[in-house]
Structures are given as structure tokens and as C-alpha cells.
Amino acid sequence: MKLLRIGAKGAEKPAILAADGTVRDLSGIVSDIAGATLLPEGLAKIAGADINALPVLDAGQRIGPCVGQVGKFICIGLNYADHAAETGSPIPAEPIIFMKATSAIIGPNDDVIIPKNAIKPDWEVELGIVIGKEARYVEEKDALDHVAGYCLINDVSERHFQTERGGTWDKGKGADTFGPIGPWVVTKDEVADPQNLKMWLEVDGKRYQDGSTKTMIFGVATIVSYVSQFMSLQPGDIISTGTPPGVGMGIKPDPVWLKPGNVMRLGIEGLGEQTQNVRAYSA
């Protein structure tokens, strides 16, 4: 199933993309694509509905973040061997965990705002894991039982804040609008192999990232198991799993940074596409 949230900010309706391409209203079945809806029984309730009998929504409306009320937005750093190489970083011995502020979350096609005092804004196409069943001290062999589905994420970053302002990476990752997610949560039954998905990102029509989840250092099952050793994972939590090469900071000899007026387009095989206009901050 491809689940989404459609409508104005703060007033999104839960919806499903039907087989005929129409967007159907799930409001009569679930209250939101969030929390308990992403548990196995919540997804089963949707799967058991007569989708073609549901009201059709205007597909031209804004698409909101594909998951509502996200409790934790967890990220894995330097998780692609080829991306680690382009940054000159060693392969991590264990997954690098950092957090992205939930206030960064926006819809897949909402504007990305460059924050005040930014110097080096950058892009990162990433595979997102959407947690279903609660996970705590999960073994790797059981980890996928706790996954509801997957989504497309742009882990927008400010590299100066991230690496040159002291402290952790979080301050370069959590600005408002730095977390476009969606368009859909694609349930795991529709993703045959999350470790074999093509992914790409373009800025103003130029393709910078053209990779695959094949080059992940730590795969989805490993990540879910590993993170669950340090914190419990709740339904609707999101884990962003790292990016392939081609980010702005890795371009030699001169890095390329986002600027107002740029347009980012990105996609992952089977998980849809995003388009964001880049704007300057204004009070």
C-alpha cells in the first residue's frame, strides 16, 4: 500500500493511492497515518477496506509529510561506502547515530528555507524506515518485523553548522524545512529488497546523486536492531539511513552549495519523487 497525507498544513487527511491512480480518503477508517495506524493491526484494517468505495480526494492538493506526529527522527551518518570515500572519512565500525528535529519535517514538495547565517546548505537523498511495531533490544533476525514501511527523505543539511560550529551534527540537520518526507509510506510488502533500490537527486536539472541502497554499509535490519539497543522505537518513528555519493560538499575541486532559486528533485525506486524550491529565510 502507498499511504499519504493530503491537504493544507496541519489539516492533512489520511489517504491511500489506489491502483487506478486516484487518491482515496481514509478518514472514515483511520484518524491519521501515524502512531497506532502503523501497527500491523492498523495496516491490516486499511488493507481490508474496499478502497474503490472510498471518497476520491483532489490529487492536486498539497501532499503533506507521509507520517504525522513523528516522535523521533533518527539518522544514520556515513552509511554508504562510496559517500564515506567522497568525504574522506573512514568506514564506521558501528552505525553513527544523530537526531534530526521533528520540527524540520515538511511535505515532499514544500519549500526548503535556507536558515539565517547559513554558508554551506547541502542535499542528501535517503531511504527512510518507518517503524510499525515497537522495537526494544531487537535481534537483527527479527528487526524487519518492526518495520511498517519505507519512504523517501531529503536530509537537507547545513555543513558549516554541522562540522564547523562545534558540538554534534544535529545543529546542521535540524533547521525548519530540513526534513521533507514522502510522498508515501510504502508498506514493506511492496518493497521486495530495501537493499537494492536505485536513488537519485538533481539540482536545477543536473543529476548529482545517482546511487543505490546496495552500497549501504549497515542495512535496514542491522540499523533497526542497532538503534533499538540504545532507545526504544515507537510506531511512526522514522530512521533516515544515509546517502550515496554526490552531495554538494563532496564535489571536487569546488563544493556546490544550495542557494535561493534552486530546485531540487529526488526519488527512490518505488517510493516516489519529491520537488522542492529553495528559498532564503525571511522573518
Yes or no: say if 176 and 133 are a contact pair by the CB < 8 Å rule: no
Convert the pLDDT of each residue in 221-232 to its tens digit. Answer: 999 999 999 999
Say if residue 143 is in the same domain as residue 15: no
Say if residue 94 is in the same domain as residue 180: yes
State the Cα–Cα distance between residues 28 and 212, nearest whole angstrom.
Answer: 38
Residues β-bridged to residue 180: 106
Q: How many domains does the chain have?
A: 2
State the Cα–Cα distance between residues 65 and 85, nearest whole angstrom.
Answer: 32
Flag whether 65 is in a domain. no
Convert the pLDDT of each residue in 102-146 to its tens digit. Answer: 999 999 999 999 999 999 999 999 999 999 999 999 999 999 999
Say if residue 156 is in the same domain as residue 253: yes
CA separation (Å) from 105 to 14, 40, 102, 162? 17, 24, 6, 18
Check: pTM over 0.95? Answer yes or no. Answer: yes
Mean pLDDT of the chain: 96
Write out the residue range of the structural domain in which residue 225 sits: 73-280
State the Cα–Cα distance between residues 249 and 122, nearest whole angstrom.
Answer: 7
Say if residue 7 is in the same domain as residue 143: no
Say if residue 160 is in the same domain as residue 83: yes
Convert the pLDDT of each residue in 62-95 to its tens digit. Answer: 999 999 999 999 999 989 988 888 888 888 999 9
